Amino acid sequence: MTTDRQGPGDSLDPHLARRLLEQARAARAHAYAPYSDFPVGAALLSRDGRIFTGVNVENASYGLSTCAERAAVVSAVAAGTRGFTAIAVVGPEDGRACPPCGACRQILHEADPEMLVITEGTSGPVITPLRALLPSAFERSDVRRRSVQP
């Protein structure tokens, strides 16, 4: 874990975005992906400036495999951290972007719907608001309505 402060918002310092991508690439070296041969690394930046990494961890019982983004969120929450500015995600070293899967978009939304998602573009980091990747998300307020008395 390292430290780098950046407030929430719709823009991110490009230098910081590149740094997060580098950390995601470094983490990817530890991915456990013997079944898909598709290693993924993620670097999650908290609002208080800490960076948590995650990798995908697969299993012979395929459905038990976990994604890199989810591993990063779990690691951050386990450390007592809430509120996130951005997450960088990298897939295999083939020059193509690795967008978060649908399940991870939902997990990231719960962690912080305002976060930015950074992927690798041909000429540098591509920064996309999570809200654009998961519009009309199912969220906490949708569950809570059950407790409201008619």
* Residues classed as catalytic: 69
CB of 37 to ligand THU, least distance (A): 9
CB of 58 to ligand THU, least distance (A): 5
Q: Which residue number, 16 or 42, has a Cβ lying nearer to ligand THU?
A: 42
- Applying CB under 6 A, the residues found at the interface with ligand THU are 33, 36, 38, 40, 56, 58, 65, 67-69, 100-101, 104
Phi/psi at 88 (5° precision) = -105, 140
End-to-end distance of the chain based on CA atoms, in angstroms?
A: 47
Burial state string for 108-141 with b = 16 or more CB within 10 A and e = fewer than 16: bbebbebbbbbbbeeeebebebbbebbeeeeeee
CB of 91 to ligand THU, least distance (A): 7
Q: Which residue number, 65 or 113, has a Cβ lying nearer to ligand THU?
A: 65
